[in-house]
Structure 1
């Protein structure tokens, strides 16, 4: 079980295979990605950064977000593998994805997190 200071719940990452990728799907939202993450992911996909940006990212002000695709009456990250129900770039996923479910938002919205993530348990 994973824990993080300041959070009153823990996370069992072994449950990820059971949920079908709920953290990668659902309502539309921003999937922020930093310049260093863009560079690493573009390299992993053997694309130059310009091609990677135009193919997989949307610019919002001075920041970039990973594009989404339509999926099951909602949305999914463009890198969500629909047949495997998991992340196709897992080793290169952005910090935002790595830090899930320990987001400050969920400190006051545990009920939402509980509906989304089967690996969560209150302490």
Structure 2
């Protein structure tokens, strides 16, 4: 079980195999990725940073976000493997993905988190 200071829940990453990628699918939203993470992901995919940006990212006023595609009546990250139901770039995923479910937003939105993540247990 993983725990982070300041959070009143813990996370069991073993549950990821059972959930079908609910943290990667659902409502549309931003999947932020910074310049360093862009370099890591481009290298992982074996493509240039410019090609990564062109094919898989979009620019906002705040920075870059990973594109989404339609999936089961909602959306999924373009790197979500729809067959395996997991992240196809797991080793190179951005910090937003790495830090889930320990986001400040969920400190005051535990019901939302519990609905999204079966690996969360309240302390």
TM-score category, normalised to shorter length: over 0.9
Aligned length: 123
Q: Which runs of 4+ in 1 moved over 2 A?
A: none
Residue number in structure 2 paired with 1:102: 102
Question: What is the TM-score normalised by the length of structure 1?
Answer: 0.99
Tell me the distance in 1 between the aligned counterparts of 2:65 and 2:48. 17
Q: 1:74 deviation in Å?
A: 0.2
CA 1:103–1:62: 2 relative to 1, 3 Å: closer
Residue number in structure 1 paired with 2:122: 122
Q: 1:62 deviation in Å?
A: 4.4
Tell me the distance in 2 between the aligned counterparts of 1:93 and 1:119. 19
CA 1:10–1:42: 2 relative to 1, 3 Å: same
Where 1:58 maps in the other structure, the secondary structure is strand
Tell me the distance in 2 between the aligned counterparts of 1:12 and 1:51. 35
Which 5+ residue runs of structure 2 have no aligned equivalent?
none
Question: What is the TM-score normalised by the length of structure 2?
Answer: 0.99
Tell me the distance in 2 between the aligned counterparts of 1:71 and 1:82. 8
Q: CA RMSD in A?
A: 0.6
Q: 1:91 deviation in Å?
A: 0.3
Counterparts of residues 1-123 of structure 1 (less than 5 Å): 1-123=1-123
Q: 1:100 deviation in Å?
A: 0.1
* 1:53-78 per-position Cα deviation (integer Å, ceiling 9, x unaligned): 00000100140000000000000000
